[in-house]
Amino acid sequence: MKRFFSCVVVLLSAAVLAVGCGGDDTSGDPVAVTLSTSPQSLEFTAESYSQTIAVSSNAAKWIVTVDDAWCQTNITTGSGDRSVSVTVSANPGDTTRSTTLRLHAEGAADVTVPISQTAETATGIEVEPDEWDGVKRADITYQLLIYSFADSDGDGMGDFRGIISKLDYLDELGVSAIWLSPAHPASSYHGYDVTDYYALNPRYGTEEDFKALIDAAHEHGIKIYMDYVINHTGKDHPWFLQAVADETSPYRDYFILSHDPKADIAAGRIPMIATEGAAGYDSGQWFSAVTQSSTEPQKVKFTLEWSSSPKLTVERVDAIENSGTADSGKYLYFGDPAECVEFYTQSDNTYTLSLEIYSPWGCLVRTSNTSWNNGTKYGAKSGSNTMEWGVPLTLISNSNTDPADILLPGMESIMYHSHFWTGYMADLNYGAAADCENSAAFKAVCRSAEKWIDMGIDGLRLDAAKHVYHNASSDENPIFWNKFYTTLNDYFHRTHTDDIYMVGEVYSDYNEVAPYYYGLPSLFEFAYWYRLEWALNNSTGCNIARDLLSYRELYGSVREDFIEATKLTNHDENRAMSLLGNSINKAKLAGAVLLTSCGSPYIYYGEELGYVGRKDNGDEYVRQPMKWGDGSTTTFMDKIYTGMNNVKDVPSQSDDETSILNVYRTFAQLRNTYPALADGEMTQHAVYNADNMQYKQIAAWYRQKEGQRMLVIHNFSSTSTTVAVDDEIDRAVAVLNSVSANYGQTTAVRLGGYSSVVFLLK
Ligand code: MG
């Protein structure tokens, strides 16, 4: 019966509505359309962000609009009497701002509601951190590139003494370790192609300078980690040069060399690449190295018989004599640096050239001295490219395939393996993983590391840790690193009671990183930045704590005392600030998140200054000189990222309380002050977490250690949000941007756009 009654009411209402809408009113005067609001204006303060207005109307439809985007309504149309919720975002300016809400209904006069909002006052919250006791417990490491950091001798190249002069700066950032870019001699500017593991790059200083850096850093409570690049050496390393030059060299076995890689892999003669190319996994490339019996220039005469299959002959001569005309359009290409010399035309499609030649890579014949287009380059068939004196060698062109370099008599080619798709690095040969500690290369790199341990370094950063062994899905790399770590840790224990620190670069998501904890105590967590970057750019912080905790669970299943090296970006990635759309607010928040979450954070130099840079035109653009602002700088690099002009230097950021540098300094000190933040347990917040999509912009978690409990809340969106927390708050100890709180049994915490707050709990 009740249900029947309801239906009648609905039908009756529909009938009334139909009369009103259809204009079929026969009672006489049309009904006037009414439209009004209460109140007739709205005023917001720094502490109020949402209010309601009541709309009174008999209109079947009215429309509500607001002039400015900082003020929004929960509905845009309505009918009859209805309330409208009006919300404003935080006012970033320092003056009151105004806008207008407008109501419109057909047949009624428009209604306007003036809205104003006073400017944000101070943070609206008292912040009282405890005094720091001077213990660096936060485990913050600073990654710096020696060449770009600080120059002490005015040669434009950063150096060891330059770093010593900036240790106070690093102290202020609360760091307790420095990861130095490769310090060994190398052919490249970046140093990842080492040519001597036992020496230091002379442009960085002497061994005495390096020792002085280690000692000075230790006095500041700062450890020194060397970048150890032992997956490969540079192609200019004497080990490699000797290995290639001499089949009987003891270094022959240090590298992965083969005359016929395919056959050697198939026969199981190269255990590090037992499944080269299988599943397309990490196979790297083979490059050709050339040995030469004679290192002296030789006087020779080339004869080129031109046909569809040209033939090249070479003979020794006593004197350089050329006849004919040098207008042949045929060139010999050779030497280092390369020269392109024209042949002399003889009769019957024959061309000759006498010259004194030294060419470490051989030669080519070209039909153009400017173009490499198809059909202009002639070389030899791969595998049969070495000439014999007086015996014609048939040439092939680059019309269909890429011909091999033509080797002069006495030269031999051998293939070497390099992972990095570049011929200037050569992979070291450690043999089978199960037995790698007995390989000559393993012993040699360990012996070199012992030298630096003796000098006082505290740890190693291990480059390309996932590229040593190339066998798909094998556990060989973790086994290798376990042996490397154990060997050097045993050596370290001769003079230390603690363990040596080693962090590996496994440039992958967390699930691929996890197995490496079998081998190493610490690994970079690239996933940290992958997730954080997405979260910041999508205003979605609610998943962060859940994701980080899931990684920890996985790592913990492999190694109980794992050290996750959390980070934003490094020298191989686009700068964080650029990936965050050059938003300084997002970059500050990224720093605050890094320094309040679990793990052992790494700060890449310049990140604390809001450095920008993308690698599109070269890695140098993410490796820019430090802006010390004191007249000193590194100048060797001529590639400067244009956006760097807008980055403020250290002194001006130091003077600006709101600078990103001071955000890093504040949160680093906070992490050093509170054990709970430094290495306490992290747990998701009970209310604001991955399940709470209504507050998806909020990231919240607890940190806890030995009775000390902290609540961390971050707002990942640009608009302010108020959250209600039931935790028993003692006081706020840090704030980023604009936060206010109304303390009580339930505390209302209002976080402005990209704001953070850290509470000490009772
Ligand atoms: Mg210098």
Position 87 scores a pLDDT of 82
Residue at 267: amino acid letter: A
Question: Same structural domain for residues 69 and 189?
Answer: no
CA–centroid distance, 204 to ligand 1, in Å, is: 6
Question: Same structural domain for residues 695 and 757?
Answer: yes
CA–centroid distance, 144 to ligand 1, in Å, is: 15
pLDDT exceeds 90 at position 703? yes
**What's phi and psi for 699, nearest 5 deg?**
-110, 125
CA–centroid distance, 343 to ligand 1, in Å, is: 48
The residues, ordered by sequence, that sit 6+ positions from 322 with a Cβ below 8 Å of its Cβ are: 344, 352, 353, 354
Instruction: Considering the candidates 463, 564, 607, 608, report the single residue annotated as catalytic.
Output: 463
pLDDT in tens, 480-509: 999 999 999 999 999 999 999 999 999 999
Count of C-beta atoms within a 10 Å radius of residue 447: 12
Residue at 660: amino acid letter: I
Boundary residue ending a domain (680, 707, 738): 680
pLDDT in tens, 100-146: 999 999 999 999 999 988 765 444 789 999 999 999 999 999 999 99
Quote the radius of gyration of the chain (alpha carbons, Å): 35
The tally of CA atoms less than 13 A away on the side-chain side of residue 404 is 21
In a domain, 419, yes or no: no
Instruction: Considering the candidates 282, 505, 533, 564, report the single residue annotated as catalytic.
Output: 505
In a domain, 251, yes or no: no
Question: Same structural domain for residues 568 and 642?
Answer: yes
The residues, ordered by sequence, that sit 6+ positions from 9 with a Cβ below 8 Å of its Cβ are: none
Q: Which residue has the tokens 């970048």?
A: 227
Give the N- to C-terminal CA distance of the chain in Å, as an integer.
58
pLDDT exceeds 90 at position 478? yes
Show the domain range for 617: 141-233+432-680
CA–centroid distance, 48 to ligand 1, in Å, is: 56
Number of continuous H segments (helices) and E segments (strands) in the chain:
17, 40
The Cα diameter of the chain in Å comes to 126
Boundary residue ending a domain (631, 653, 680): 680
CA–centroid distance, 252 to ligand 1, in Å, is: 36
Spatial contact of 451 and 445, defined as CB atoms under 8 Å apart: no
**What total number of domains does the chain contain?**
4
Q: Rounded to an integer, what distance in angstroms lies between the CA atom of residue 723 and that of residue 704?
A: 21
**Model confidence at 418, in pLDDT bands (50, 70, 90)?**
confident
C-alpha dihedral sign at 687, 690, 694, 699: positive
* Alpha-carbon distances of 496 from 140, 226, 448, 522, rounded to whole Å: 21, 17, 18, 19
**Model confidence at 91, in pLDDT bands (50, 70, 90)?**
low
Q: Rounded to an integer, what distance in angstroms lies between the CA atom of residue 106 and that of residue 123?
A: 45
Position 124 scores a pLDDT of 73
Q: What is the mean pLDDT of residues 610-629?
A: 96
By the 10 Å C-beta count (0-12 exposed, 13-18 middle, 19+ buried), 24 is classed as: exposed
Catalytic residue list contains 505 = yes
Position 21 scores a pLDDT of 35
Residue at 470: amino acid letter: H
Boundary residue ending a domain (654, 680, 706): 680
**Model confidence at 417, in pLDDT bands (50, 70, 90)?**
confident
Lowest mean pLDDT among 95-104, 150-159, 165-174: 95-104
Q: What is the mean pLDDT of residues 446-463?
A: 98
Q: Rounded to an integer, what distance in angstroms lies between the CA atom of residue 716 and that of residue 425?
A: 43
CA–centroid distance, 448 to ligand 1, in Å, is: 25
CA–centroid distance, 347 to ligand 1, in Å, is: 61
The residues, ordered by sequence, that sit 6+ positions from 26 with a Cβ below 8 Å of its Cβ are: none
pLDDT in tens, 528-586: 999 999 999 999 999 999 999 999 999 999 999 999 999 999 999 999 999 999 999 99
Question: Same structural domain for residues 303 and 344?
Answer: yes
| HEC per residue, 278-333 | HHHCCCCEEEEEEEECCCCCEEEEEEEECCCCCEEEEEECCCCCCCCECCCCCEEE
As given in the structure block, the two tokens for residue 64 are 């509500």
Spatial contact of 218 and 456, defined as CB atoms under 8 Å apart: yes
CA–centroid distance, 631 to ligand 1, in Å, is: 14
Spatial contact of 376 and 402, defined as CB atoms under 8 Å apart: no
Q: What is the mean pLDDT of the chain?
A: 90
In a domain, 384, yes or no: yes
Q: Which residue has the tokens 């006081």?
A: 731
Strand 82-88 relative to strand 71-73: parallel, antiparallel, unpaired? antiparallel
Question: Same structural domain for residues 564 and 664?
Answer: yes
Q: What is the mean pLDDT of residues 345-364?
A: 92
Q: What is the mean pLDDT of residues 21-27?
A: 39
CA–centroid distance, 365 to ligand 1, in Å, is: 44
Strands (DSSP E) found in 380-513:
393-394, 396-397, 411-418, 425-427, 459-462, 501-504
CATH value at residue 229: 3.20.20.80
By the 10 Å C-beta count (0-12 exposed, 13-18 middle, 19+ buried), 318 is classed as: exposed
The residues, ordered by sequence, that sit 6+ positions from 28 with a Cβ below 8 Å of its Cβ are: none
Q: Rounded to an integer, what distance in angstroms lies between the CA atom of residue 556 and that of residue 30?
A: 77
Question: Same structural domain for residues 673 and 694?
Answer: no
Residue at 686: amino acid letter: A
In a domain, 426, yes or no: no
Spatial contact of 25 and 19, defined as CB atoms under 8 Å apart: yes
**Model confidence at 606, in pLDDT bands (50, 70, 90)?**
very high
pLDDT in tens, 716-736: 998 889 999 999 999 999 999
In a domain, 201, yes or no: yes
In a domain, 388, yes or no: yes
In a domain, 412, yes or no: no
What are the residue ranges of helices labelled H in 145-224? 146-149, 160-165, 167-172, 207-219
CA–centroid distance, 156 to ligand 1, in Å, is: 6
Question: Same structural domain for residues 25 and 112?
Answer: yes
Provide the percentage of residues in the chain whose pLDDT is more than 90.
76
The residues, ordered by sequence, that sit 6+ positions from 229 with a Cβ below 8 Å of its Cβ are: 182, 184, 191, 192, 193, 194, 463, 464
CA–centroid distance, 221 to ligand 1, in Å, is: 24
Count of C-beta atoms within a 10 Å radius of residue 717: 20
Position 475 scores a pLDDT of 93
pLDDT in tens, 373-384: 999 999 999 778
Question: Same structural domain for residues 663 and 554?
Answer: yes
By the 10 Å C-beta count (0-12 exposed, 13-18 middle, 19+ buried), 758 is classed as: buried
Question: Same structural domain for residues 630 and 689?
Answer: no
Position 16 scores a pLDDT of 34
Could you write out the DSSP letters of every residue in 600-630? --EEETTGGGT----STT-GGGGSPPP--SS
Position 48 scores a pLDDT of 58
In a domain, 207, yes or no: yes
Question: Same structural domain for residues 151 and 221?
Answer: yes
* Alpha-carbon distances of 468 from 433, 459, 762, rounded to whole Å: 10, 20, 50
Residue 451: name the closest of 255, 228, 202 by CA: 228
Lowest mean pLDDT among 41-45, 127-131, 293-297, 342-346: 293-297
CA–centroid distance, 165 to ligand 1, in Å, is: 12
Q: Rounded to an integer, what distance in angstroms lies between the CA atom of residue 463 and that of residue 451?
A: 19
As given in the structure block, the two tokens for residue 175 are 């760091």
Question: Same structural domain for residues 384 and 326?
Answer: yes
Q: Rounded to an integer, what distance in angstroms lies between the CA atom of residue 740 and that of residue 717?
A: 16
Question: Same structural domain for residues 543 and 637?
Answer: yes
* Alpha-carbon distances of 676 from 663, 701, 759, rounded to whole Å: 19, 12, 12
pLDDT in tens, 231-270: 999 999 999 999 988 888 999 999 999 888 878 888 888 8
Catalytic residue list contains 499 = no
Position 276 scores a pLDDT of 60
CATH value at residue 64: 2.60.40.10
**What's phi and psi for 110, nearest 5 deg?**
-60, 145
By the 10 Å C-beta count (0-12 exposed, 13-18 middle, 19+ buried), 720 is classed as: buried
Lowest mean pLDDT among 166-170, 224-228, 524-528, 638-642: 638-642
CATH value at residue 753: 2.60.40.1180
**What's phi and psi for 644, nearest 5 deg?**
-65, -20
Give the bridge partners for 298, in sequence order: 357
Give the bridge partners for 232, in sequence order: 427
pLDDT exceeds 50 at position 461? yes
CA–centroid distance, 461 to ligand 1, in Å, is: 23
Q: How far is CA 643 from the centre of its chain?
A: 18
Position 282 scores a pLDDT of 45
Position 377 scores a pLDDT of 96
